[in-house]
């Protein structure tokens, strides 16, 4: 199909390898220790990857991509769909739902204030009669 995009059509993510590793880990809600354990490396090695002081070997990179639910291509080159885009989309949906609830509550509160204000006005009027 002519309308389908391939990974070569995707925009580049200009973050570093370490930056992409951090974003993928955070998108899954993992801390560094959990991620290191999933990839079977010590914490220091994992932290060196995230801070761009070292790079994972090919076998660990493949395992890392699998554990972080991203493609190796995205980790290495920043090509393709980033995990944060899905996370942000979900977050935006959640925030919009919360905003709608708050607006509904605000409308209900405004209506309740108006009703109470009218009730007070009626009572004050009665006392004055």
The pLDDT of residue 118 is 96
The pLDDT of residue 62 is 94
- C-beta of residue 35 within 8 angstroms of C-beta of residue 25: yes
The pLDDT of residue 119 is 95
The pLDDT of residue 83 is 77
Structure token digits, residue 16: 């570093």
The pLDDT of residue 94 is 76
Closest to 81 (Cα-Cα) out of 62, 60, 65, 93: 65
Residues 6+ apart with CB under 8 A from 15: 23, 78
The pLDDT of residue 79 is 86
The pLDDT of residue 52 is 95
The pLDDT of residue 5 is 47
Would you tell me how many other CB atoms lie within 10 Å of the CB of residue 18?
Answer: 18
Rounded Cα–Cα distance for residues 84 and 20 (Å): 9
Per-residue pLDDT tens listing for the chain (129 residues): 444 544 444 556 788 999 999 999 988 889 999 999 999 999 999 999 999 999 999 999 999 999 999 999 999 988 877 776 555 567 766 777 888 889 889 999 999 999 999 999 999 999 998
Rounded Cα–Cα distance for residues 100 and 58 (Å): 47
């Amino acid at each position: 199909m002519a309308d389908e995009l391939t990974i070569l059509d995707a925009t580049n993510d200009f973050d570093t390898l370490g930056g992409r590793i951090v974003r993928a880990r955070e998108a899954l809600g993992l801390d560094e220790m959990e991620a290191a354990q999933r990839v079977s490396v010590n914490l220091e090695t994992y932290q060196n990857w995230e801070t761009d002081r070292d790079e994972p070997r090919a076998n660990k990179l493949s395992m890392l991509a699998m554990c972080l639910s991203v493609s190796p291509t995205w980790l290495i080159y920043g090509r393709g769909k980033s995990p944060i885009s899905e996370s942000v989309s979900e977050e935006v949906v959640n925030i919009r739902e919360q905003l709608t609830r708050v607006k509904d509550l605000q409308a209900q509160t405004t209506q309740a204030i108006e009703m109470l204000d009218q009730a007070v006005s009626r009572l004050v009027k009665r006392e004055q009669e």
